[in-house]
Structure 1
């Protein structure tokens, strides 16, 4: 059975957008640290791939890579899938309740109507639009990292959408060391899509590859707010080693376990 290896791509989106590069703003981790992957938590991760072969030289076990991108300083991906939509609906309901109270208020009771309308607008927050040009995340309200909506005139920081891997290419792909593709999945943490690749572990060596990663910047176009896509790249590498398939108990060739005659 193939071994599943996970590579976490953690991106500091705010700094990456400001610097216009992922260099120094991407942190890669995998679950092969004890097997030789290094340096963990940097943008220069080299993932260790341990392959094995049978006595006749054929590949014994292939390896499977899974890339999972996340945003640093945004709403955690572990919150319920409908969290942002729930928060948006709740602020809409609260704004309607406040507007109803304002409409039903007896005439002459205070002259702070403008201030109350302004507060309702703050409650509604900022809603983004998706256009053919931007092709960003679906229309939704902008939230901060605590899950509260961001008002139109607010200068507070906002939560960025998760980075999106749009391609995996480079030396490792060109030399047919790995075969990447995007797959659908019921895993809602990855929004139903993720990138995976099978690796030919019979060819030892170090092979570089590049991930094309799309970030999104919040921009105002006229009276509308949209998520503008920004395409950047992140480099990494695979280090493949190969050794004969061995019996985990005897450390020798694969075969029947030695059982003493007294056991029969």
Structure 2
């Protein structure tokens, strides 16, 4: 039968950027361990692709690969991709409410007789809740752009916005890795046919890489994932995510067996019906 093979690409983003390599910072998993996949949990995954063929050798069923990249220490993948944008927008609304409340206390009929020092302290307290807005730097033009329509702010791994302290940012939630292309031996030999697909699924951000496989050609083939990570950097007085490109190799191991009846373990055909 057709098999949807999911491959999880898990990357320690902070460690990979610091070391400038994915070696030792990449962990791959798939859902075919019981079918013969090797190297699960390491950077050298060999995914088992069990194809089937008809008696004439032609491919009987299509096998499909799906790649999903995630970052170690990033927000849980079960959260919708709009979580950070929503959090950033809500923080702005909260700050406006607090400023309005402070204005009312200072100008209303029952205005508090606060001195300048106390007002400054109140404003400093409010500013800490604003968070730090970031942009993404274009790889080609070095132009910074907002993430989404309203931009996003820096968040820690617990889902709270962080504040800049002495020009530095504490522990952050890194942006998830992005697969930008699939190339390599398996593609060059027309064994797999990869493409980026659109999806309404908010967890995958609407885009993911998938590939159909020609299982009529047994063997082990390498393929290369082109991966883009993002490094948080201070550019022209503002914080921006700067893209850093890497590549990483993995493998598929294709087998091809005659299609058989799952009940009788024999060739395809009608099920045996006992005589009355």
TM-score normalised according to structure 2 size: 0.89
Aligned pairs for 1:40-51 within 5 A:
40-51=40-51
Gaps of 5+ in 2: none
CA distance in 2: counterparts of 1:55 and 1:161, whole angstroms: 49
Aligned to 1:196: 210
Is the 1:135–1:229 contact (alpha carbons within 8 Å) kept by the matching residues of 2? no
Aligned to 2:122: 116
Is the 2:179–2:225 contact (alpha carbons within 8 Å) kept by the matching residues of 1? yes
Is the 1:30–1:47 contact (alpha carbons within 8 Å) kept by the matching residues of 2? yes
Measured after TM superposition, the shift of residue 77 of structure 1 is 1.9
Q: Does 1:4 align with 2:4?
A: yes
CA shift in 2, pair 1:131/1:10, >3 Å? closer
Measured after TM superposition, the shift of residue 232 of structure 1 is 0.7
Gaps of 5+ in 1: none
SS class of match (1:241): strand
Aligned to 1:219: 233
CA distance in 2: counterparts of 1:150 and 1:68, whole angstroms: 27
CA distance in 1: counterparts of 2:123 and 2:69, whole angstroms: 40
CA shift in 2, pair 1:134/1:9, >3 Å? farther
CA distance in 1: counterparts of 2:232 and 2:262, whole angstroms: 54
Measured after TM superposition, the shift of residue 27 of structure 1 is 0.8
Q: Provide, for residues 80-113 of structure 1, a one-character-per-residue CA deviation record: whole Å limited to 9, x for no partner.
A: 3432122112211221233223333346424233
Aligned length: 262
CA distance in 2: counterparts of 1:107 and 1:142, whole angstroms: 35
Measured after TM superposition, the shift of residue 215 of structure 1 is 0.6
CA distance in 2: counterparts of 1:58 and 1:190, whole angstroms: 34
Q: Provide, for residues 1-40 of structure 1, a one-character-per-residue CA deviation record: whole Å limited to 9, x for no partner.
A: 6321100101111111111111111111101000000111
Aligned pairs for 1:62-141 within 5 A:
62-103=62-103, 104-105=105-106, 106=111, 108-110=113-115, 111-132=117-138, 133=142, 137-138=147-148, 139-141=151-153
Tell me which stretches of 4 or more aligned residues in structure 1 moved more than 6 Å. none
SS class of match (1:152): coil
CA shift in 2, pair 1:213/1:78, >3 Å? same
Q: Does 1:142 align with 2:154?
A: yes
Is the 1:69–1:164 contact (alpha carbons within 8 Å) kept by the matching residues of 2? yes
- Pick which of 34-43 and 217-226 moved more: 217-226
CA distance in 2: counterparts of 1:206 and 1:37, whole angstroms: 12
